[in-house]
Each structure stands twice: as C-alpha cells, then as structure tokens.
Amino acid sequence: MEINQLLYFLEVAKQKSFTGASKSLYVSQPAISKMIRMLEDELGVLLFNRSSHYVELTDYGIVVQGQVQKVVQAIQDIQTELNDITNLQKGDIRIGIPPMVGEMFFSGIIGLFHQQYPNIRMKLFESGSKAIEAGVEDGNLDVGVAVLPVNESKFEVYEIAKSPIMLIVNNNHPLSNQKNVKFSDLKDEEFVLYRQDFGLYKPIYDACIGAGFEPNIVCETSQWEFMVNIVSDHLGIAFLPLKVCEKLSSTNIKIISVDSPPIYWHLGIIWRKGTYLSQASRSWINFAKLQVVDITKQLDFWNHAVMS
C-alpha cells in the first residue's frame, strides 16, 4: 500500500469522479484508476460503486475513507513537524475569517504579521462562522475566527472580543425614538438577517422565537454594508455589532440598544484540539493575541458607554 494510492482514493471520493480527481491531482485518469484497482485488490473489497452517473463509495469504501484520512493526516503532521525544525519561520497558514471580523479587526494585524514574518505565506478564506468551524475541524483551515460559543471538546479557543448587538432602523421608523427595544417589540417587522452559516443568525432567530414569533426574513446577506443600505431605504430592520455601528456614516440610520434578551458578538480564535499546530500557525496565534489586546480595551470602553 502506497501513500499515492491513499491520496488518489481520497480525491476520487471527494470529487465523486475519476475524471475530477485526475484534473485536481494533474495525474492521468488511467493511472488513478489503476492505483485504485490495486488498492481494492490488496484490501480484497470493492471501494467504489462505478455503475451510477457518478462514482460513490461502497460501505467498505466509507470505512476505508475514515481510516485513510487518519493515516494521511498523521503523515502530514510528520512532514509539518520536520519542516518546522528545518525552517522555523517558514510555512503556510490557512485562516478563516468572517467578513465583518476581517474588516473590523484583522486587516491591520495581517499586514503587521507579514512585515514581521515575510516568509510565512497566509491564505485567507472569508466565510461564515459555522463554515469556518467546519473548515478547522476537518483540517482545511489551520486557524479560524468564529462567533462563540463553539464546541470546546473539538477546539482550542482564545477569546478576543465581546460587543453588544444593536438594532438599526431607518430614521423614519416608528421605533427610531426608542433608546432600547425588546425582541417582542419586533414581531411585525421585516428582518434583514445574516446568512444561516453565520454565527449571529441563530441567536437572533432564537431570540425572536423566544419572544413568541418567527421573524419575517426578507433578505439574508453576509455584507453589513448591504444591510445598512436596505435599512437606509426603509425596507427592513437589521442587527449589527456595536463596533460596526461606530463606522456607520449614513444619516438615515438610528442605532438602538436591544435587551430581553441582549445578544453579544462574542469572538474567538479557534484551532483544532488534539492535533499538531505548525510553528507558523502558533506564531500567528501568539501575534494576534498581543495585537487584539488594544481592540478588546476599545470594545470594553464602548460597551460600557452604551450599557450605562
């Protein structure tokens, strides 16, 4: 059994296609097919059902896939550790960052890190918090920034910020004269909400259910600027972290505190528990921890100002 056989097997399973695996790996399709047949002969079982429109794993294949992933991960960990010893300050980091988080916190930090560690290549992936959790868990991301809480049996967590969620409405909205509102006050409103793979979707949705109604969601988006534009045009209400509200320039928007219950934008850096973390990733985490101290102090100041 060779490592290439295992890698080819995993890629065919991922692509559900020998042709797709061939294109992804830049290896001829006959070569991949031959290696898979050799693996099947060695194991004495059929790993793929080739009779359907696409290739799919058999029951045997599903079992083998789980074990092969562990073997490949162990080999990659060995290679990573050896590379770290040879090239202490070199490497790649795959970081998942939600859209608002990147703009609010990490754009400057990333630039400073690159200046200090020019030989470490950073690959940034922008996505929702839930997708980032999944990426860190399955090893496609080394480090992520996620909305807390997360499953701490799976992740190491370093908390970096906690900011209250504010309601934004158009200046002409009936609630615009209120200093604070309850979720029960919003049952007849049209909501502009985050996509369901974003960490803030569920607490806002659950708060509405807890207040006795299902929110009327007219739009889901990942872009806070788009949210602001819709609210500015008097087409719905939306929720933004206080830190984001500080940057609003629209004169058509009123920012209102929310209680019963209050919701917080609670952020943390996460990485997978119980697995090897490269020197490059450890350097990034330690660097980010130092840089976010000032950000946390700023958030604490604004939180106190709003909640007072």
Same domain assignment for residues 175 and 235? yes
Picking from 89, 142, 144, 145, the residue whose alpha carbon sits closest to that of residue 118 is 89
Model pLDDT for residues 41-60, shown as the tens digit of each residue: 999 999 998 876 778 999 99
CATH number of 37's domain: 1.10.10.10
- pLDDT over 50 at 166, yes or no: yes
In whole angstroms, give the CA distance from residue 132 to residue 155.
Answer: 12
Same domain assignment for residues 37 and 17? yes
In whole angstroms, give the CA distance from residue 225 to residue 244.
Answer: 10
Segment among 99-103, 215-219, 225-229, 231-235 with least mean pLDDT: 99-103
* Number of domains the chain contains: 3
Same domain assignment for residues 232 and 175? yes
pTM score > 0.85 for this model? no
Name the pLDDT band for 304 (thresholds 50, 70, 90): very low
Same domain assignment for residues 73 and 104? no
Name the pLDDT band for 299 (thresholds 50, 70, 90): very low
Same domain assignment for residues 70 and 114? no
Average pLDDT over residues 289-307: 53
Average pLDDT over residues 23-33: 89
Computed over every residue of the chain, the mean pLDDT equals: 86
Model pLDDT for residues 211-226, shown as the tens digit of each residue: 999 999 999 998 888 9
Same domain assignment for residues 229 and 175? yes
Model pLDDT for residues 234-288, shown as the tens digit of each residue: 999 999 998 888 778 777 899 999 987 889 988 899 999 988 888 888 888 988 8
Whether residue 254 contacts residue 173, with contact meaning beta carbons closer than 8 Å, is answered with yes
CATH number of 285's domain: 3.40.190.10
Same domain assignment for residues 139 and 271? yes
Q: Name 169's bridge partners.
A: 254
Residue where a domain terminates, one of 85, 100, 132: 85
Same domain assignment for residues 41 and 108? no
Picking from 17, 58, 18, 20, the residue whose alpha carbon sits closest to that of residue 40 is 58
Average pLDDT over residues 88-98: 81
Same domain assignment for residues 76 and 153? no
- Choose between 174 and 259: higher pLDDT: 174
Residue where a domain terminates, one of 48, 69, 85: 85
Residue where a domain terminates, one of 55, 85, 115: 85
Same domain assignment for residues 186 and 246? yes
CATH number of 196's domain: 3.40.190.290
- State which residues form the domain around 71: 3-85
Same domain assignment for residues 76 and 132? no
Same domain assignment for residues 165 and 261? yes
> What pLDDT, on the 0 to 100 scale, is given for residue 120?
86
Whether residue 90 contacts residue 62, with contact meaning beta carbons closer than 8 Å, is answered with no
- pLDDT over 50 at 308, yes or no: no
> What pLDDT, on the 0 to 100 scale, is given for residue 91?
77
User: 3-state DSSP helix/strand/coil percent for the chain, to nearest 5?
Assistant: 50, 25, 30
Name the pLDDT band for 294 (thresholds 50, 70, 90): low
Number of residues written out for the chain: 308
> What pLDDT, on the 0 to 100 scale, is given for residue 256?
95
- Choose between 162 and 212: higher pLDDT: 212
